[in-house]
Amino acid sequence: MIRWFITLMYKKIVIAGTPGVGKTSVAKALSDRIGGFHLDLSSFAISRNLILYYDEARESYVIDENRLVREVVEILKNVEIVVIDTHYPEIIPRDVIDIVFILRLHPNVLYERLRSRNWPIRKIKENVLAEALSIVALNALEHYGVEKVFEIDTTSLSIEEIVFTIINTMKGGRELEPGIRIDWLEKISPEDLDKFSDLGFNNEV
């Protein structure tokens, strides 16, 4: 019954968020639950060599957006239910996506999580600053519009709870309201914010 309802209304779903918030785990769990195809955009870009170059300073690949989008659009045309996870949702054409969920994580929690993964400090700071400033969320909102975008504060939630919230929202539940409502700048200290300064952003994987 759940799968039938979601298939009818929401076939092309984006799970977006700053690297480290848990979007790939959530997207996998959601796609399993609703019988969809999971597409990790970063892994897909690397596996298909859809990249421009490797950024040594950030230890990341910079994607070829045009080529990647063309291949993703073809997949969306040919696969009924697709769950995409990405930290650059704004590159996917608005008209091929039904709904977008932005996973948010308190910047201090994200900082410790990325440190535990032994990421380079520059990359950690860049991603935590992006989360603090709502970069992924704001880009998604500007691109898709308020009616398609929903935020979830995942800081205290398990994967199962996040998936439940997503499914409930797609079934018409009112637990989430559309648009961007989380502002970490109201919840973190100026000292914490200072740790994540002097950095820029681009579409890297």
Q: What is the mean pLDDT of the chain?
A: 91
The predicted pLDDT at position 205 comes to 55
Report the distance separating Cα 48 and Cα 52, nearest Å. 12
Which tokens hold the place of 128?
């935590």
The predicted pLDDT at position 3 comes to 56
Report the distance separating Cα 135 and Cα 203, nearest Å. 12
The residue-averaged pLDDT of 119-123 equals 88
143: in domain = yes
Q: Tell whether residue 117 is among the known ligand binding residues.
A: yes
Report the distance separating Cα 76 and Cα 66, nearest Å. 16
58: in domain = yes
- Per residue in 153-192, pLDDT (tens digit) is 999 999 999 999 999 999 888 889 999 999 999 988 888 7
Specify the pTM: 0.90
52: in domain = yes
Report the distance separating Cα 16 and Cα 69, nearest Å. 16
The number of distinct structural domains making up the chain is 1
Q: Tell whether residue 155 is among the known ligand binding residues.
A: no
Q: Tell whether residue 12 is among the known ligand binding residues.
A: no
Q: Tell whether residue 181 is among the known ligand binding residues.
A: no
Tell the burial category of 67 from Cβ atoms under 10 Å away from its Cβ (0-12, 13-18, 19+).
middle
Which tokens hold the place of 146?
């308020």
201: in domain = no
Q: Specify which residues 153 forms β-bridges with.
A: 104
Instruction: Check if the beta carbon of residue 33 is closer than 8 Å to that of residue 163.
Output: yes
130: in domain = yes
Report the distance separating Cα 85 and Cα 14, nearest Å. 6
- Per residue in 71-120, pLDDT (tens digit) is 999 999 999 999 999 999 999 999 999 999 999 999 999 999 999 999 98
200: in domain = no
199: in domain = no
Where in the sequence is the domain holding 148, given as residue range(s)?
2-194
Q: Tell whether residue 36 is among the known ligand binding residues.
A: no
Confidence tier at 2 by pLDDT (50, 70, 90) = low
51: in domain = yes
Confidence tier at 1 by pLDDT (50, 70, 90) = very low
**Domain harbouring 167, CATH code:** 3.40.50.300
